[in-house]
Structure 1
Amino acid sequence: MCIKFLLQGPLDKIKTKNIYKRKYYKRKQEVRTRINQWIRITPIQLINEKGENIGTIETSKALEMAKEEGLDLIEIAPNAKPPVCRIMDYGKFQYQKSRKEKIQKSKQKKTEIKGVRISPRIGQHDLNFKAKQAEKFLNQGHKVKIEMILKGREKGLLDIAREKLNKFIEIIDLETVFEQEIKRQPRGLFVIITKDKKQ
């Protein structure tokens, strides 16, 4: 961003000076896991290397136990009261954490609204093709917006268009539910459907 200021002086010697305003961006802070001597709070809730709950003990005592076994003391729930720490190998902890995050990421499917357009004059072959297209989107976990495009005098035949839209949904070889009921839009009618999760 550039801001110009007029410097005082005779009119014939007026000069301008550019002052540039810097933009500062906050860096996203990375949440780091505290281990061993970096765990300053005491007492803590301790879990041993076998996953057994030892109970609430002083941090210094937990550090001694971890050292005796050649392992690390890792803070796994810093917001708990008291914080929960576990005795285990830090390298193994990082591997398990990374693997868990990858699994969760792969399970999170990005849901999109896919579009399928039909018209009152569409032939049966094209109608079946569009239905298969909608099935494919639904099986991929997406929602499907079905648009009935109406032109000219067709806009006055809303009941017939609505009936044909419902018949198209019946052709789809899947159990579906209405995410949004049939509604009017400037170009005709539309409905949003999704795959029935109970199926």
Structure 2
Amino acid sequence: MINEQIRDKEVRLIGANGEQLGIMSVRDAQKQAMEAGLDLVKIAPTAKPPVCKIIDYGKYRYELAQKEKEAKRKQKTIEIKEVRLSPNIEENDLNTKVNNARKFLSKGNKVKVTLRFRGREMAHMYKSKHILDEFAESVADIAVIEKAPKVEGRTMTMYLTEKR
């Protein structure tokens, strides 16, 4: 809230240079802001009494936007990379997939290991769980299982994350 939008009876006022001017009525605070040629901006509405500051409102909004951008820039996004396997995968193919998963984990991403079943493979789903167990074992030195293997329709999925 700025200037006339402030409806409180009294506020704690902070001057343009950051000095405390004390508790006063809103009218007096608005007069001081007008004399300085600046705006009266409510900084902390939940405080008792609310805290208002004499500043240039446009500049204040710009600084808030800059802080928000900076916070967004420093934020780390975690992607989920997927590694797809099949029930009749060979040893070397499995090793290649394990190496890919290691690469993803070392970069800080989560890995979704998917075991896809097609046709008659659906009848022997329970026999293929050992593939996911072997996969988890082979990356156990750098990864931990976040979500255990779970059957969802035609796929069995497991999530891995980097060890802390």
**TM score, norm. by length of structure 2:** 0.70
Match of 1:149 among 116, 138, 147: 116
Match of 2:26 among 48, 51, 59: 59
Partner of 1:16: none
Matches within 5 A, 1:52-131: 55-108=22-75, 113-131=80-98
Shift of the alpha carbon at 1:48? 3.6
2:151 alignment partner AA: R
Report the identity percentage.
Answer: 40
Are the counterparts in 1 of residues 105 and 162 from structure 2 also a CA contact under 8 Å?
yes
Partner of 1:168: 135
Q: 1:52 to 1:125 in 2, by over 3 A?
A: farther
Shift of the alpha carbon at 1:111? 5.4
Gaps of 5+ in 1: 1-33
Are the counterparts in 2 of residues 113 and 143 from structure 1 also a CA contact under 8 Å?
yes
**By percentage of residues, which structure has more helix?**
2
Match of 2:147 among 162, 180, 185: 180
Q: Which has the higher contact order (CA 8 A, sep 6+)?
A: 2
CA RMSD after TM alignment: 3.5
Are the counterparts in 2 of residues 155 and 188 from structure 1 also a CA contact under 8 Å?
no
1:185 alignment partner AA: E
| Larger of the two Rg values belongs to structure | 1
CA distance in 2 between partners of 1:38 and 1:110 (Å): 39
Residues paired across the two proteins, number = 163
Are the counterparts in 1 of residues 122 and 154 from structure 2 also a CA contact under 8 Å?
no
CA distance in 1 between partners of 2:80 and 2:62 (Å): 36
Match of 2:156 among 189, 193, 197: 189
Shift of the alpha carbon at 1:39? 2.4
CA distance in 1 between partners of 2:16 and 2:162 (Å): 44
2:114 alignment partner AA: E
Shift of the alpha carbon at 1:91? 2.9
CA distance in 2 between partners of 1:184 and 1:164 (Å): 14
Alignment partner of 2:31: what SS? helix
Shift of the alpha carbon at 1:117? 1.2
**TM score, norm. by length of structure 1:** 0.60
